[in-house]
């Protein structure tokens, strides 16, 4: 009788584990080849400067459809921002034609170090002044972290094709091979758009 009970218990544990794994996979919204799950950030949102004064407007992930996009979502921490520097430096050095690539940086203010929120917003405004075409978004409530199920105190990169599909998703720093892959994909999309040929 005990053997039967142990076998049933093992079976139940195995089924529970399979269900947990399948649920986790089903709930993982950022996967290559899938559409980017729509995200609306209304609490703060995209930073805009008008007459030297900053204000925010709601930001939606669909705003860059039709062109290649690199979306970086990160905790509002200095240590986290450094994780993506090799990629952002490579994107800048690649010299893509103006208006052909949309790079969006989303800072999760809910995941900022205690007492640094004002400093982070000041840095965001300073970066906007230096790079007026950059899309900078402040996520006050951490909506992206929960909706896209990202890791806390980390950085994530999503490379989005012009049709809105995720071409690459990665949490943490990209190595050189990953950066080269991103640059190659972006150049391919730009070439396709410029020639007007179908992908």
53 vs 16, which has greater pLDDT?
53
| pLDDT exceeds 70 at position 11 | no
Average pLDDT rounded to a whole number, residues 105-122: 87
CA gap 179, 177 in Å, rounded: 5
CA gap 102, 161 in Å, rounded: 11
149 vs 5, which has greater pLDDT?
149
Query: What would you report as the CA-atom Rg of the chain, rounded to the nearest whole angstrom?
Result: 20
The token pair at 9 is 């218990």
Q: What is the pLDDT of residue 118?
A: 83
User: What are 119-136's pLDDT values in tens digits?
Assistant: 888 888 988 988 888 899
Q: What is the pLDDT of residue 197?
A: 53
Under the banding of pLDDT at 50, 70 and 90, the label for residue 182 is very high
CB 172 within 8 A of CB 83: yes
Under the banding of pLDDT at 50, 70 and 90, the label for residue 15 is very low
| pLDDT exceeds 90 at position 9 | no
CA gap 5, 49 in Å, rounded: 67
Q: How many CB atoms lie within 10 A of CB 196?
A: 6
- DSSP codes joined into one string, 108-122: EGGGSPTT-HHHHHH
pTM of the model: 0.82
User: What are 52-77's pLDDT values in tens digits?
Assistant: 788 999 999 998 888 999 999 999 98
| pLDDT exceeds 50 at position 24 | no
Max mean pLDDT range (2-6, 33-37, 117-121):
33-37
CA gap 55, 52 in Å, rounded: 10
C-alpha dihedral sign at 179, 171, 85, 102: positive
Under the banding of pLDDT at 50, 70 and 90, the label for residue 141 is very high
């Amino acid at each position: 009788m005990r053997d039967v009970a142990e076998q049933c218990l093992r079976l139940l544990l195995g089924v529970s584990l399979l269900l947990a794994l399948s649920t986790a996979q089903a709930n993982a919204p950022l996967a290559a080849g899938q559409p980017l799950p729509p995200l609306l950030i209304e609490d703060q949102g995209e930073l805009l400067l008008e007459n030297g004064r900053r204000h925010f407007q709601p930001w939606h992930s669909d705003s860059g459809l039709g062109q290649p996009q690199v979306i970086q979502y990160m905790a509002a921490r200095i240590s986290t921002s450094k994780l993506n520097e090799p990629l952002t430096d490579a994107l800048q050095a690649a010299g893509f034609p103006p208006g052909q690539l949309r790079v969006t940086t989303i800072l999760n203010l809910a995941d900022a170090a205690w007492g640094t929120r004002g400093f982070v917003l000041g840095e965001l405004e300073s970066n906007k002044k230096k790079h007026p075409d950059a899309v900078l978004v402040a996520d006050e409530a951490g909506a992206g972290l929960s909706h896209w199920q990202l890791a806390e105190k980390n950085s994530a990169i999503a490379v989005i094709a012009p049709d809105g599909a995720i071409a690459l998703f990665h949490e943490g720093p990209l190595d050189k091979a990953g950066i080269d892959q991103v640059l190659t994909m972006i150049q391919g999309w730009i070439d396709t758009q410029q020639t007007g040929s179908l992908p």
